[in-house]
Amino acid sequence: GGIAVFMIRYAMLRKYDVGGLCNGILAGLVSITAACANVESFSAFFIGLIGAFVYQGASMLLQKFKVDDPVDAVPVHGACGMWGVLAAGLFDWGAGMDHYHGWNGWDCMKNE
């Protein structure tokens, strides 16, 4: 997440933004927190990467509406948290798209 935001902001502003790098790292971590026990590593990478774009979009939206959030807490925790909850359901493929599982052995399709 951090490197993605760093590259996005460099492409847009032609400046290096270390604050964006740090918030991008947090955005990726917040995005994967809800699904960390139920998704594969490859899915976790993409959840964090998409979280970087969600963070950047939410940050730009707050600036456009002139909302004062100097540390970008709402984009990091609010927007990426909502994305993380959605990603937990979207990326938990289990044994296929019709099978869902949990880390503690819970299985909603045990008898099939």
The DSSP-derived string for the chain is: -HHHHHHHHHHHHSS--HHHHHHHHHHHHHHHHTTTTTS-HHHHHHHHHHHHHHHHHHHHHHHHTT---TT-HIIIIIIHHHHHHHHHHHS--TTSTT--B-TTS-BTTTT-
Q: How far is CA 74 from the centre of its chain?
A: 13
For the cut 90, the answer to whether the pLDDT of residue 111 exceeds it is no
| pLDDT given for residue 105 in this prediction | 58
Asked if residue 16 has pLDDT above 90, the reply is yes
Q: What is the mean pLDDT of residues 62-67?
A: 96
| Mean pLDDT calculated for residue range 37-41 | 82
Say what the pLDDT of residue 68 is. Answer: 94
